[in-house]
Amino acid sequence: MKYIFITGGVMSGLGKGITAASVGRILKNRGYRVTAVKIDPYLNIDAGTMNPAQHGEVFVLKDGSEVDLDLGNYERFLDIELSAPHNITTGKVYRTVIDKERRGDFLGETVQIIPHITDQIKACIRQAAEEEFPDGTHADVCLVEVGGTVGDIESMPFLEAARQMRGELPGTDYVLIHVTLIPEDTMGDLKTKPTQHSVKALRELGLHADIIVGRSERVIGANTKRKISAFCDLPINAVISAATAPDTYEVPMEMEKEGIADVLSAHLGLETRDIDSSWYRVVTKEYTNRVTVAIVSKYGIEDVYISIKEALKHAGRSLSTEVKIVWLDAERYERCQLKDYDGILIPGGFGKRGIEGKIEAIKYARENNVPFLGLCLGFQLAVVEFARNKAGMPDATSEEMGEGTHVIALLPEQEGLTELGGTMRLGNYTADIRDGTLAKKLYGEPQIVERHRHRYEVNPRYIKKLEDAGLVFSATNKNRMEMLELPGHPFFFATQFHPEFKSRPTRPSPPYIGFVEACKVNKRTK
Ligand code: GLN
């Protein structure tokens, strides 16, 4: 097992996750099996309880763990499915060590950050790295991304663990990539001083950057590279320029051109192999069409819905169609704006704020034959809208939102729960698809598996009433409604699960393909 550690310097938000995922893709295109671990140095056990407006999307894995959005990047770039151990947090590490202490596992010892916490971190990294793939094979290479910025108090134990691993592993099994910012001054010159300082901070921790990836707005030239090479003590070919790309899937190609594969191979003792460029061809397929989709949500920032954005992109590429997204604030948009779009998407979400605006948009899509895709909360609100306006329940709502006829109700197993962390209906569940439905046409299979994250569901008491009024629940898991559609409408489709989590550039998600296709048709006939 070879380890590639990825650290960050100067500031957060540099795209370390995309850099790590891109490095993985570059190796995967050469036939290596790659896995990835993300370290998040915060005290939360997982990302599930964190506000996505602050921390970005909560990504859900097949086993139901709620993790950092970078695991989504790894899954999409590497085309793998990860599990809980691949997201290590300070909270998880400390909880394990403290539980062991209480059990008496360290009896007599003083339990300390070094060695107890660092040993636990190393054990967690190895456990994740060595996890089997479904075909029984193991990874050849494990990427370990250390969240945060070098110098933060929070990441110290993790960097110390990284230092210890360097000493414990043969030289060719370890490489450290430091991702840093190369800002421009007011004269437009690229400045290396912040990078020099962050490399100095790494050195103080006993770590050496083998490769530096410099993030900048424009490509870093030879002079700047020479300076970094001299001050940071590494060969010039180990300084890789990573200018901001128009599309993240282009980053591996750009890094490939910079020669990072040769530097990595030399460090890790990998043989030179030919590149399989089929993935590159898929992610750069030409666009011949364009559609515009409105996403109505209460959050202003796009990072909250990164998987939806990517799933639309994957489906769009496969249909040679660029999907332009316009984000509408659910509390503020004007109804007349809705006519400008080829399709309307209502994403997942929590809480009352903005829901009337979302319901209004669903009504507009239903009444005006505009393609509609509802996801999780979007599915639930489609039921509420239909109940109010078509099934004779004008006060219909979701139990999550307050008083009224609860066509959406708390899942029975959620009744009386006292803990909020990790307790939703999470991860993979099957859905049985009814014959003769749009759902069946899209998925082409009688049973599918998708990832979930919800506490509420369609209230079984009202299913018959809704169906009698014309709503079709096209997939179920026992008496749980998983998909809905409206016959006679060009595309009115919603899922209780989040199909975006399984979408890949090479395998777009069926509901997204159906939606983008319907948007294309709508645009042509408008
Ligand atoms: N708030 C809703 C529920 O808990 C929907 C959740 C979501 O959209 N992920 O069921």
Q: Given this chain, do its domains 2-280 and 287-525 carry the same CATH topology?
A: yes
pTM of the model as a whole: 0.95
Nearest Cα residue to 511 out of 379, 387, 362: 379
In whole angstroms, what is the distance from residue 503 CA to residue 283 CA? 13
Token pair 């809705």 is found at 338
CA of 177 to the centre of ligand 1 (A): 38
Q: Hey, whose CA ends up nearest to atom 6 of ligand 1?
A: 454
Judge if the beta carbon of residue 347 lies within 6 A of ligand 1: no
Query: Counting beta carbons within 10 angstroms of the beta carbon of residue 376, is it exposed (0 to 12), middle (13 to 18) or buried (19 or more)?
Result: buried
Q: Which of 420, 480, 472, 477 is nearest to 449 (CA)?
A: 477
Phi-psi region of 320 (alpha: psi -120 to 50; beta: other; left: phi over 0): left
Q: Which two tokens stand for residue 460?
A: 């079984």
| 2-280: CATH topology | Rossmann fold (3.40.50)
| Residues contacting residue 487 through CB under 8 Å, at least 6 positions apart | 470, 472
CB-hemisphere CA count at 13 Å for 77?
29
287-525 has which fold?
A: Rossmann fold (3.40.50)
Beta carbons within 8 Å of 257's beta carbon, 6+ residues apart: none
Q: Reduce the DSSP state of residue 185 to 3 states and report it.
A: coil
| Strand 396-398 to 372-375 pairing | unpaired
CB neighbours of residue 244 within 10 Å = 12
Distance CA 50, CA 480 (A): 27
Kindly give, in sequence order, each residue whose CB lies less than 8 Å from that of residue 230, ignoring residues fewer than 6 positions away: none
Q: Is 457 in the pocket of ligand 1 (CB under 6 A)?
A: no
* Residue pLDDT tens, the chain, 526 long: 999 999 998 888 888 999 999 999 999 999 999 999 999 999 999 899 888 888 889 999 999 999 999 999 999 999 999 999 999 999 999 999 999 999 999 989 999 999 999 999 999 999 999 999 999 999 999 999 999 899 899 999 999 999 999 999 999 999 999 999 999 999 888 999 999 999 999 999 999 999 999 999 889 999 999 999 999 999 999 999 999 998 999 999 999 999 999 999 999 999 888 889 999 999 989 999 999 999 999 886 778 999 999 999 999 999 999 999 999 999 998 888 899 999 999 999 999 999 999 999 999 999 999 999 999 999 999 999 999 999 999 999 999 999 999 999 999 999 888 888 999 999 999 999 999 999 999 999 999 999 999 999 999 999 999 999 999 999 999 999 999 999 999 999 999 999 999 999 999 999 999 999 999 999 998 7
Q: Is 349 near ligand 1, meaning CB less than 6 Å away?
A: yes
The pick from 308, 380, 399, 457 for probing ligand 1's pocket by mutation, whose C-beta has the most ligand atoms within 8 angstroms, reads: 380
The domain locations on the chain are: 2-280, 287-525
Closest residue by Cα to residue 75 from 30, 25, 123: 25
Could you tell me the distance, in angstroms and rounded to a whole number, from the CA of residue 347 to the centre of ligand 1?
Answer: 10
Sheet containing 2-8: order of strands: 87-89, 34-40, 141-146, 2-8, 174-181, 211-216, 239-243
Cα–Cα distance measured from residue 149 to residue 155, given in angstroms and rounded to the nearest whole number: 8
In testing the pocket of ligand 1, which one of 407, 410, 453, 457 has its CB within 8 Å of the most ligand atoms? Answer: 453
